[in-house]
Structure 1
Amino acid sequence: MPIAFEVRAVLDVVARDGGLGGLLLAERSVDAPYLKNYDALDGGPAGWAARFDVSSWGLLVARSGRRVIGGAAIAFDTAGVEMLEGRRDLAVLWDLRVAPEARGRGAGSALFRAAEAWAAARGCRRMKIETQNVNVPACRFYAARGCVLGAIHRFAYPGLPHEAQLLWYRELAPAE
């Protein structure tokens, strides 16, 4: 299932007073929209098991009838996944994707809620999500689900100097 999306706008990171006045995200339309495909950069889901021990990860599927229309992966308690910070009370929503023809119909929201429940059932108090300033729809999606922007790393991707890493956090209710 493709994760590619069309970039029509970006969130420029503006440092006020050299950064002492904080960072501001300012939305800007791009002159020429382009396709962004992170699977082309890192190999996507097919390569995860070769890079990490995914035995403790959660893998979720969204279906419409018999057809798979989306999926999510949640990293948890995995050595070598730096985003987990060595913590057992933190899960990382590693990937969430919905088939292009099914986007905007609730599958992403359902996967997000299921990821929250999966992480909470394992004792996680917080879920962390990485996205980039070139994925404005994802930023809006996570903000609409109660995620809070916790970090902006302007220089996280040396090979992609015009992209900034945005880390979102969602506090989780204890599992019932």
Structure 2
Amino acid sequence: MERNQEIRYTEIEKTDAYIYDKVEMKVRVEEIYEVVIKDLDGISFIKRAVAPYIKDFSGHANYKRWNQQFDLSNWHFFMAFDGEKPVGGAVLCCNSAELHMLEGREDLGILWDIRVDSAYKRRGVGGKLFDMVMKKAKGLGLCQLKIECQNNNVPAAAFYFKQGAHLGAVNRYAYYGDADEEVQFLLYLNIEAAGV
């Protein structure tokens, strides 16, 4: 286990992963990247302010649901604790044929989820969890990490780009029919180039 001030970080066993759901996954949205596609003439990303709201991913992104839907054999769970309180988490997936996001590649991992309790944001918790995912991915022999992000999570996109990720795909219809009609960004990070 490693320490960052009073926060304790560790990889947890899948048998203990139910505690992952104790960490909220709320994002305050104040701006979005509006995606303007001009046929084959190019794509523009325009940062635009919106009326602030809270996006809560907890109902869709949680261990209980994943455990019912997927084989978690090749999933790795990382947690941050303040004392006994879980305050952050991250999930790395790899070598799972059922996950289409892995593109059938054995050298690709997915940052399936990363979250930090609102009271602990901007304290380096997300960065430390991300570093743990990257070290694990390298140790598993993965060459690249794939990350899904939405156009209404501007802080997350900025964080991933700061880590060295690059935009690999934009899908305006990934969440077709959802109330807020988010745009999916798929980011890729070359693990060796990240200097892990």
TM normalised by structure 2 equals 0.82
Map residues 31-50 of structure 1 onto 2, 5 A cutoff.
32-40=51-59, 42=60, 44-50=62-68
The farther-off stretch of 89-98 and 69-78 is: 69-78
Counterpart residue number, 1:80 = 98
Cα deviation, residue 67, structure 1: 3.1
Counterpart residue number, 2:30 = 8
Question: Is structure 2 residue 163 aligned with structure 1 residue 141?
Answer: no
**Rounded Cα–Cα distance in structure 2 between residues aligned with 1:150 and 1:23:** 13
- Work out whether residues 4 and 37 of structure 1, in 8 Å CA contact, stay in contact via their aligned partners in 2: yes
Map residues 64-143 of structure 1 onto 2, 5 A cutoff.
64-143=82-161
Change (3 A) 1:124 1:43: closer
Tell me the C-alpha RMSD between the 2 structures: 1.8
Counterpart residue number, 1:172 = 191
Which whole-Å deviations, capped at 9, do the CAs of 1:28-69 have from their partners, x for residues lacking one?
000x211111223x2522110111101111111122344322
TM normalised by structure 1 equals 0.91
Give the counterpart of 1:28 among 32, 36, 48.
Answer: 48
- Work out whether residues 151 and 168 of structure 1, in 8 Å CA contact, stay in contact via their aligned partners in 2: yes
**Rounded Cα–Cα distance in structure 2 between residues aligned with 1:23 and 1:99:** 34
Amino acid in structure 1 at the alignment position of 2:187: W
Q: Which runs of 5+ in 2 are unaligned?
A: 1-22
Q: Which runs of 5+ in 1 are unaligned?
A: none
What is the number of equivalent residue pairs in this alignment?
172
**Rounded Cα–Cα distance in structure 2 between residues aligned with 1:62 and 1:19:** 44
**Rounded Cα–Cα distance in structure 2 between residues aligned with 1:125 and 1:67:** 33
Counterpart residue number, 1:62 = 80
Q: Identity over the aligned pairs, expressed in percent? A: 37
Amino acid in structure 1 at the alignment position of 2:186: L
- Work out whether residues 52 and 78 of structure 1, in 8 Å CA contact, stay in contact via their aligned partners in 2: no
| Counterpart secondary structure, 1:158 | coil
